[in-house]
């Protein structure tokens, strides 16, 4: 079992500071935003797929800054947000 040092964002009254922690266990691959590469406040694209993947969603990781919020539980990655906007215009 591997241990690693990490920083945890902690919101204070005026800004965000970072606390240090040691995390032990199996390390899952970190999801990073497909646009900017950040790892914080991640969402997964909820765009429904078609063809062989019918019933599944895109699931591209996108940070809250780059996610396009459609409904209370629906977020789209930038490319699927553009596609949805084009379909809506047509």
d(CA 77, CA 34): 8
Identify which has the larger pLDDT, 74 or 4: 74
Residue 88 has pLDDT above 80, yes or no: yes
Instruction: State both tokens at 38.
Output: 């950040």
pTM of the complete model: 0.65
* Beta bridge pairs of residue 23: 4
Q: pLDDT digits over 11-68, tens only?
A: 878 888 888 888 787 766 678 999 999 888 899 999 999 999 999 999 999 999 999 9
Rounded (to 5) percent helix, strand, coil in the chain: 15, 35, 45
Residue with tokens 């591209």: 60
d(CA 46, CA 62): 11
What are the sequence ranges of the domains in the chain? 3-89
């Amino acid at each position: 079992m591997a241990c690693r040092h990490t920083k945890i964002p902690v919101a204070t009254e005026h800004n965000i500071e970072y606390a240090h922690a040691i995390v032990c266990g199996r390390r899952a691959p970190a999801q990073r935003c497909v646009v900017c590469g950040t790892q914080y406040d991640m969402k997964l694209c909820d765009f429904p797929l078609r063809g062989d993947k019918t019933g599944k969603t895109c699931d591209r990781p996108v940070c809250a800054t780059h996610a396009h919020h459609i409904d209370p539980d629906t977020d789209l990655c930038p490319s699927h947000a553009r596609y949805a906007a084009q379909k809506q215009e047509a």
